[in-house]
Amino acid sequence: MPTRNEPTFETLLNEIRDITKPYEPHSLETFSDLSPEQFKVLKEAWPELKPERRIIFMEGLEEIMEIETRYFFADIARFALEDINPKVRTSALRILYEEDDRKFIPIFIRMMNKDPEPEVRATAASTLGYFVYLGVLEEIPEELMTRVLDALVVKMNGDDLPLVRRRALESMGFASRSDVNALIRNAYLSKDKEWVASALFAMGRSGESTWEKFVLAELNNPEPDIQLEAIRSAGEMYLESAREPLFKLLENSDILDDEVRLSAIVSLGSIGGEGVREVLEEALENCEDEEEIEIIESAIEDLNFADENDRPLLFNFEELESDQDDNSQQEISLLDEESDPPDETKKKRRHH
- Please report, in tens digits, the pLDDT of each residue of the chain (352 residues total): 444 466 789 888 988 888 877 777 788 999 999 999 999 999 999 999 999 999 999 999 999 988 888 889 999 999 999 999 999 999 999 999 999 999 999 999 999 999 999 999 999 999 999 999 999 999 999 999 999 999 999 999 999 999 999 999 999 999 988 999 999 999 999 999 999 999 999 999 998 889 999 999 999 999 999 999 999 999 999 999 999 999 999 998 778 888 999 999 999 999 999 999 999 999 899 888 888 899 999 999 988 876 666 555 554 444 434 343 444 344 333 334 333 333 333 444 555 5
Looking at residue 143, its amino acid is: E
Q: Which residues of 203-240 are buried (b: 16+ CB within 10 A; e: fewer)?
A: bbbbbbbbbbebbbebbebeeebbbbbbbbbbbbbbbe
Residue 65's SS3 state is: helix
Alpha-carbon distance of 321 to 332, in angstroms, equals 11
Global pTM?
A: 0.83
Alpha-carbon distance of 339 to 190, in angstroms, equals 24
Assign 3-state DSSP to the chain and report helix, strand, coil percentages, each to 5: 70, 0, 30
* Cβ-proximal residues to 214 (8 Å cutoff; 6+ apart), any chain: 188, 199, 200, 203
CA angle in degrees (0–180, nearest 5) for 107-112-113: 100
Reported as half-sphere exposure (CB side, CA atoms, 13 A), residue 258 has a value of 6
Alpha-carbon distance of 295 to 289, in angstroms, equals 10
- Report H helices in 190-289: 193-206, 212-217, 224-236, 243-251, 258-271, 276-285
Residue 116's SS3 state is: coil
What is Dmax (Cα atoms) for the chain? 75
| Distance, CA of 105 to chain centre | 18
